[in-house]
A and B are shown apart, each in its own frame.
Chain A
Amino acid sequence: MREYIFYFLALVSIISALMVVFSRNPIHSVLYLVVCFFSIAGHYLLLNAQFLAVVHVIIYAGAIMVLFLFVIMLLNLNKESEPHKPAIIKFASVISGCLLVLVLVAAMINMDPPAGSHPSLHNVGMVKDLGKYLFTDFLLPFEISSVLFLSAMVGVVLISKKES
């Protein structure tokens, strides 16, 4: 049963990722990316990482994608304004993408990672354990990320402000 759910989610995520790249309309790309993120959240659930699945849906599908949609609608991008590339470049990029898959698979085919036990035997993905890690071992990165957000916020306001 778990296997079938994995293969279904993998199929959904690969097809929607391909549709992100190949669809002409930028809004369709964003919507397919939302589907892809939901399927990746399903993978996280399957790996018993519940907290990350929820955070992933809230931040990616809820915040980042809304930002993308907002910018696309603000700039009024649609199918007509989409720049066209010559077919040879499309062909070349598909070929190079397939070659990258080939190279990475060839590099990892002899890899033998330590076969750990099944994820359902661990409870590392629960919010209780992750919170304990976050506020003990990872306290410094946690605080630094708040500084990062503050600087990003100031930078974004400064960049996107109209020069008068």
Chain B
Amino acid sequence: MIALQAIDIASNPVNKYVYLAVILFSIGVMGVLMRRNAIIILMCIELMLNAANLLLVAFSAYNGQAEGQMVVFFVIVVAAAEVAVGLALLISIYRNISSTDINLLNRMKG
């Protein structure tokens, strides 16, 4: 049983960043579930990555340690590579089925 107590944001200033990151991450998950356009889904994945980045920077800044910000730096690097490959795959898919609708991509379902 989770004891729900009043959200005390002011007690610890990191907590408000935690809640903001939770909300942004959930918006990203909601977008992945809701949209069928593959480009929008990639954008929602970026949103989720940014929520995690925000949390890392918040913890790193409040604790005065630079490691968290370095991790964010590498997350940005990986995200850039991921977006490039993902959009190339999308162009390749569009060339074959003339659409970016992911519901048309069910040929591997068997």
Residues of A participating in the B interface, judged by any CB pair closer than 8 Å: 6, 10, 13-14, 17-18, 20-21, 26, 29-30, 33, 36-37, 40, 43-44, 47-49, 51-52, 55-56, 59-60, 63-64, 67-68, 71-72, 74-75, 77, 81-83, 85, 89-90, 92-94, 96-98, 100-101, 104-106, 108-119, 121-122, 124-125, 129-130, 133-134, 137-138, 141, 145, 148-149, 152-153, 155-156, 159-160, 162
Rounded to whole angstroms, the CA-CA distance of A156 and B2 in the bound complex is 47
User: Which of B4, B28, B43 touches A109 (beta carbons < 8 Å)?
Assistant: B4
How far does the Cβ of A46 sit from chain B's closest Cβ, in whole Å?
9
Q: A33-B47, A111-B18, A152-B85 are in contact. List 19 more A-B contacts (CB 8 A).
A: A6-B16, A29-B40, A29-B43, A37-B50, A49-B60, A52-B73, A55-B73, A56-B53, A63-B80, A68-B43, A75-B94, A83-B36, A85-B34, A94-B30, A100-B25, A124-B61, A130-B70, A141-B74, A153-B84
How far does the Cβ of B34 sit from chain A's closest Cβ, in whole Å?
4
Known: A26-B39, A75-B100. A122 touches B47 (CB 8 A): no
User: Could you say which residues of chain B place their CB within 8 Å of the CB of A90?
Assistant: 34
Instruction: Please count how many residues in chain B sit with their CB below 8 Å of the partner chain's CB atoms.
Output: 76
Secondary structure call for the B interface = helix
User: Could you say which residues of chain A place their CB within 8 Å of the CB of B4?
Assistant: 106, 109
How far does the Cβ of B48 sit from chain A's closest Cβ, in whole Å?
10
Rounded to whole angstroms, the CA-CA distance of A49 and B71 in the bound complex is 13
Instruction: Give B6-20 as 1s and 0s: 1 = Cβ < 8 Å from A's Cβ atoms.
Output: 010000111111111
How far does the Cβ of B7 sit from chain A's closest Cβ, in whole Å?
7
User: Which of A37, A119, A129 touches B62 (beta carbons < 8 Å)?
Assistant: A119
Residues of B participating in the A interface, judged by any CB pair closer than 8 Å: 2-5, 7, 12-20, 22-31, 33-37, 39-40, 42-44, 46-47, 50, 53-54, 57-67, 69-70, 72-74, 76-81, 83-85, 87-92, 94-95, 99-101, 103
